[in-house]
């Protein structure tokens, strides 16, 4: 009986110790749990940062694709074909366009007139008269305007060649009308040699005349 009472009293005396131990254990468990939860959050946060850093490091920079566009060659439109030259014989009538001097004395100038009549529907212009060589001299009114039915005159002179020498000749002259219509006219002939000095006078005939008058 005394043993039982001793055990009971001992148990009762130790109960406060057990209650404090349980209280400490109860208080410690939540603290450890909170620390573990905080540690897990910290680990998760660290892992997330590490993953994000890794993603930032590993991700290759975006590159924009560049496409090279070759310049297309510019198409050059060829100019329209030039209009065919007008038929000068449908616009003008020429008189003495192939003139023949015949025989003329060498070394003496000769000339003739070329006539050009306007048979077109508009006013025409005598633009230029261009001789083929220096031995031909044209005389005309430059830039001469002449209406339908009118005629202009061009005088063409030939210097006669070298004096004392007779030979055939053939020359050409280009006549330009309206700035771009041309006509080539020609003339020809033959020169003959001319004596440089005349024959001396017969003096004996002059001496006989007074004697004959005396007899009468």
At 47-86, the pLDDT tens digits run 556 545 555 554 555 656 666 666 666 777 777 776 666 7
Rounded to two decimals, what is the model's pTM? 0.54
pLDDT at 214: 46
Q: Is the pLDDT assigned to residue 31 strictly greater than 50?
A: no
- For residue 91, give every residue at least 6 positions away whose Cβ sits within 8 Å of its Cβ, in sequence order, or none: 118, 119, 120, 124, 177, 178, 181
pLDDT tens digit sequence for 86-95: 799 999 999 9
For residue 114, list its beta bridge partners.
Answer: 154
Residue 109 CA to residue 135 CA, distance in Å, equals 10
Please give the mean pLDDT across all residues of the chain: 76
Residue 86 tokens, joined: 């007008």
pLDDT at 163: 74
Distances (CA, A) of 4 to 14, 17, 57, 157: 15, 21, 76, 177
Residue 161 CA to residue 167 CA, distance in Å, equals 9
pLDDT tens digit sequence for 124-178: 999 999 999 999 999 999 999 999 999 999 999 999 877 766 789 999 999 999 9
Residue 140 CA to residue 150 CA, distance in Å, equals 15
Residue 158 tokens, joined: 């030939």
Q: Is the pLDDT assigned to residue 102 strictly greater than 80?
A: yes
Q: Please answer whether residues 179 and 126 qualify as being in contact, where contact means their C-beta atoms are separated by less than 8 angstroms.
A: no
For residue 197, list its beta bridge partners.
Answer: none
Q: Is the pLDDT assigned to residue 14 strictly greater than 60?
A: no
Q: Which residue has the higher pLDDT, 72 or 212?
A: 72
Task: Give 168-172's long-range contacts (Cβ < 8 A, gap of 24+).
Answer: 171/131, 171/132, 171/133, 171/135, 171/136, 172/132
**Weakest-pLDDT range from 24-38, 115-129, 151-165:** 24-38
Q: Is the pLDDT assigned to residue 201 strictly greater than 70?
A: no
Helices and strands (DSSP H and E) totals, the chain: 3, 9
Residue 85 tokens, joined: 């030259």
3 state DSSP class of 188: strand
Q: Please answer whether residues 161 and 134 qualify as being in contact, where contact means their C-beta atoms are separated by less than 8 angstroms.
A: no
């Amino acid at each position: 009986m005394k043993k039982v009472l001793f055990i009971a009293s001992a148990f009762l005396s130790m109960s406060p110790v057990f209650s404090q131990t349980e209280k400490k254990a109860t208080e410690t468990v939540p603290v450890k749990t909170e620390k573990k939860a905080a540690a897990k959050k910290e680990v998760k946060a660290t892992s997330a940062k590490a993953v994000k850093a890794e993603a930032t490091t590993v991700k290759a920079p975006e590159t924009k694709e560049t496409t090279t566009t070759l310049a297309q060659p510019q198409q050059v439109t060829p100019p329209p074909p030039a209009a065919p030259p007008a038929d000068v014989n449908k616009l003008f009538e020429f008189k003495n366009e192939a003139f023949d001097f015949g025989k003329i004395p060498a070394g003496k100038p000769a000339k003739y007139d070329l006539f050009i009549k306007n048979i077109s529907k508009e006013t025409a212009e005598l633009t230029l008269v261009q001789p083929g060589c220096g031995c031909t001299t044209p005389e005309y009114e430059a830039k001469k305007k002449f209406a339908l039915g009118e005629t202009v005159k061009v005088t063409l002179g030939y210097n006669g060649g070298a004096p004392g020498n007779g030979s055939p000749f053939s020359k050409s002259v280009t006549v330009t009308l309206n700035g771009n219509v041309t006509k080539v006219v020609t003339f020809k002939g033959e020169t003959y040699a001319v004596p440089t000095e005349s024959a001396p006078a017969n003096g004996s005939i002059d001496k006989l005349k007074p004697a004959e008058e005396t007899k009468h």
